[in-house]
Structure 1
Amino acid sequence: MQPEDILNRVRDVATVRQVFGEPIERDGTLVVPVARIRGGGGGGSGTDGASGAPTTRQGWGGGFGIDARPLGVYVIREGMVSWQPAVDVTRIVVQAQLVAVAGLIVARSFIRRRRGR
């Protein structure tokens, strides 16, 4: 696969449709989903063959990745637009657990310090 092929595929994938989903209309209310799209890629190449060698070493590689996360929806009702954020409950729970563990570690160090250890 050539670099141009990779860039063409990226262009096809990373479009506005990936961020603003298809609008949904029901009972006079229009809902437009919104997501955050991030991407990254890289490539490489190389030849390390000795001149006159029967085999010539070669190499080429590349890749691309995309991460999409829902942010929320725009709600359009009776000419008014409002924003309804998406709530990632898993992220909130994990962050709360990390804060709790950090608090326990700090409390343990204070208790040990008071005991003189």
Structure 2
Amino acid sequence: MDIMDVIDQAKDNATVNRVFGEPITREGVTVVPVAKIAGGGGGGRGKQEGGERPGEGSGGGYGLSATPAGVFVIKDGEVRWQPAVDVNRIVLGGQILGVVLLLTVRAIVRMTTRRRRGRRIRKS
């Protein structure tokens, strides 16, 4: 596959339809789903001269990622944004906060213990 074919394929995949989904209408309320799209790509081409295995080389690839961002809710002519809640991110944030809290408490306990030991040695 040629690198230009990979680039053309990436362009075709990066459309507005990847960000905004089809509107859904029920009982006078229209919901338009929205996603965050991230993508990247790379490629290379080279020709090895001489050596044991002369020949041509090329390569390329790309990646595309979509994450729900939320929905636009349209009701009675008014538009409201309703963000998507990423429970995994909330749980991860809580775990990181817990580890930081435990490390902080540990450091405080060690500092207090060292001060007490230092006072005992001075009194002796």
- TM-score by length of structure 2 reads 0.86
Could you tell me how far apart the structure 1 residues matched to 2:52 and 2:109 are? 71
Cα offsets for 1:23-79 (capped at 9, x unmatched): 0011111100001101000011222231xx674143221110011111100000111
Structure 2: gaps spanning 5 or more residues:
118-124
Cα offsets for 1:69-110 (capped at 9, x unmatched): 111000001111111110001110111101110110111011
Q: Equivalent residue for 1:37?
A: 37
1:101 to 96, 99, 102: 99
Could you tell me how far apart the structure 2 residues matched to 1:113 and 1:54 are? 64
Q: Equivalent residue for 2:61?
A: 63
Structure 1: gaps spanning 5 or more residues:
none
Cα displacement (A) at 1:12: 1.4
Distance 1:111 1:54, change over 3 A: closer
Q: Which runs of 4+ in 1 moved over 6 A?
A: none
- TM-score by length of structure 1 reads 0.91
Could you tell me how far apart the structure 2 residues matched to 1:54 and 1:94 are? 51
Identity among equivalent pairs (%): 49
Residues 13-92 of structure 1: pairs in structure 2 closer than 5 A = 13-50=13-50, 55-92=53-90
Q: CA RMSD in A?
A: 1.6
Could you tell me how far apart the structure 2 residues matched to 1:89 and 1:77 are? 27
- Greater C-alpha radius of gyration: 2
